[in-house]
Amino acid sequence: MSAKDVFDLVLSAVEVVKISIEVYQAVQDKSGIPKRLRTVSDTLPSVLEILENAEAQYNARQPDQQAWITAGSDVRHCEEACQDLQSLLKTVYPKADASKVGRFFKGTGTILSGKGKTAEQLLAEIHGHLKLLMDRQIITSTMLLQEIKRTVDEIFPKSGIIQNNTHGINVAGDQNFNNTGSGHMINGQGSTVNFNQST
């Protein structure tokens, strides 16, 4: 993948997020839409601005071409998460003539068909990918990224399982796991406890 290929993925993500924003703005009466779904949608302009910052970075030849090539996987995964979120929003946001009850129940069905992810989870994924792009200096919008992080922290509970992946489960908050059989009992206090699958 060349630096230009990576940049093209950024442009694709920009267009995807623009459409997502348009889908949300087209909903004239948002009173029946769950708060978390509205919160995710209200965050999209910040995501768009960050991606447009990456576009400006490339046009200014910042950082170097190799850095863009190295960031290819991160950009691709970010673009895919943006695509998944757009598909979800198109599915759950009601048509203009839907009743209030219809709007509410359509909005609560925020699981993306075939993906099993909520809008909140997808926003968290997008933030994670953008953070990696920040680390690689592909984007420089520090304050906007912090705003998205605050939103992610707000819409996810402070305790309980917040991420499930092929490498294990990350649990935030105080957790006590009682083992009634042989082996160790694990207690995690005041920090994140990671149960990682060996690879």
Q: Which CATH number is 12's domain given?
A: 1.20.1410.10
Most confident of 35-39, 67-71, 151-155: 67-71
Q: Are residues 95 and 193 in the same domain?
A: no
Q: Are residues 167 and 151 in the same domain?
A: no
**How far is Cα 55 from Cα 75, in angstroms, rounded to an integer?**
12
Q: Report the mean per-residue pLDDT for the chain.
A: 78
Q: Are the C-beta atoms of 175 and 193 separated by less than 8 Å?
A: yes
Q: Are residues 41 and 71 in the same domain?
A: yes
**Identity at 94, one-letter amino acid code:** P
Q: Are residues 85 and 183 in the same domain?
A: no
Q: Are residues 177 and 101 in the same domain?
A: no
Q: Are the C-beta atoms of 136 and 67 separated by less than 8 Å?
A: yes
Q: Are the C-beta atoms of 47 and 21 separated by less than 8 Å?
A: no
Q: Are residues 79 and 165 in the same domain?
A: no
**How far is Cα 83 from Cα 77, in angstroms, rounded to an integer?**
10
Q: Where are the alpha helices (DSSP H) in the chain?
A: 3-25, 35-59, 65-70, 72-92, 100-108, 119-135, 142-155
Q: Are residues 66 and 90 in the same domain?
A: yes
Q: Are residues 95 and 132 in the same domain?
A: yes
Q: Are residues 17 and 113 in the same domain?
A: yes
- Pairing state of beta strands 193-196 and 186-188? unpaired
Q: Are residues 162 and 81 in the same domain?
A: no
What is residue 95's DSSP assignment? P
Tell me: pLDDT of 91 over 50.
yes
The pLDDT confidence band at residue 100, using thresholds 50, 70 and 90, is low
The mean per-residue pLDDT over the stretch 23-37 comes to 84
Tell me: pLDDT of 55 over 90.
yes
**Identity at 177, one-letter amino acid code:** F
pTM of the model: 0.73
Number of domains forming the structure of the chain: 2
pLDDT tens digits for 140-172? 999 999 999 999 999 876 533 344 443 333 434
Under 8 Å CB-to-CB from 12, ≥6 apart: which residues?
A: 79
Tell me: pLDDT of 195 over 60.
no
Residue located via tokens 């993948």: 1
Range of the domain at 35: 3-156
The pLDDT confidence band at residue 179, using thresholds 50, 70 and 90, is very low
**How far is Cα 90 from Cα 23, in angstroms, rounded to an integer?**
7
